[in-house]
Amino acid sequence: MASAVEHRFVEVNGVRLHIAEQGQGPLVLLLHGFPECWYSWRHQFGPLAEAGYRVVAPDQRGYARSEQPDDIAAYSMLHLTGDVVALIHALGESSAVVVGHDWGAPVAWTTAMLRPDVVRGVAGLSVPPMPRGPVPPLSAMRSLLGDGFYQQYFQEPGVADAELVRDPAATFRALLTGASGDSPLTDPPRPWVVPEGGTLMDTLPEPKQLPGWLDEGDIDTFVREYAHHGERAFTGGLNWYRNLDRNWELLAPFQGRGIDVPALYVAGDRDLVRAFPGADKLLSSLERTVPRLHRSLTLPGCGHWTQQERPEEVNSALVEFLGELDARG
């Protein structure tokens, strides 16, 4: 019987991070996305701990109970991957398997690319590895989807911040339901585009009822976890988006470098990420980007919130992948 999930704080790179942890054994780090926190992995702690692993899920910098630096530039990909490496060492380990979902996936993929000596295996949920393109990402997306693309909408400090924090419970209900495989908005999936002069909630109206994998208790937990930063509850996470073009500049020295550690990719066929322009090419070239790809798994009917919507299938894939890594030594 695995121990209960425990909570504490760890300081890395001058930033105080909240972590949730359970189990003993080789370290597995679980990195959440937007707008999420450690609780997004609630279905993974027990099964992975019972399989013999030490499971740690941080609130990444800017999120929930973790510290939120004021400077937008403090949320670059180099800061985020630096946090992962520092956290592994702060936990007394020299290496870990890193699993990321949504924004956590690019952090996981990039950490594996930059520090294969520290990441012994990597798994990405929803977002595949994205090799650096020829032009800054916001310029590329603006030319294809216009100024209303949600990542563009997130750029102006204070705008999306105020919209999302106005009614956090409504925000979580709308985003978690609207991007799920249970929503008519994902049949077929399509990128979020904010209408001119409108808001994100014009694109994702609050649902009349929650899908079966989500209940009001879950919504209450997300709201409570996000309450620590008051009116800036969503600002830390939004600042990650405000570094998209800066990340493109900072990662220029690594242009063309692949990911050479064992890898797993899992996503739903109704995930809006699959509808982004160019996503089909990324998925078809996955084995070139990640030559040691163990498996690419598509979950029929699953939307964006992979490990929350389909925990049993995700847990099975992760345990099988981890077992394969251990067998290789």
Q: Active site includes 326?
A: no
Catalytic residue among 59, 83, 102, 182: 102
Q: Active site includes 202?
A: no
188: number of Cβ within 10 Å: 10
User: ∠ CA 83-236-147 to the nearest 5 degrees?
Assistant: 115
User: ∠ CA 83-67-136 to the nearest 5 degrees?
Assistant: 55
Catalytic residue among 18, 32, 229, 304: 304
Contact 227/86 with Cβ under 8 angstroms? no
Q: Match 């830390």 to its residue by tokens.
A: 236
Catalogue the active-site residues: 102, 304
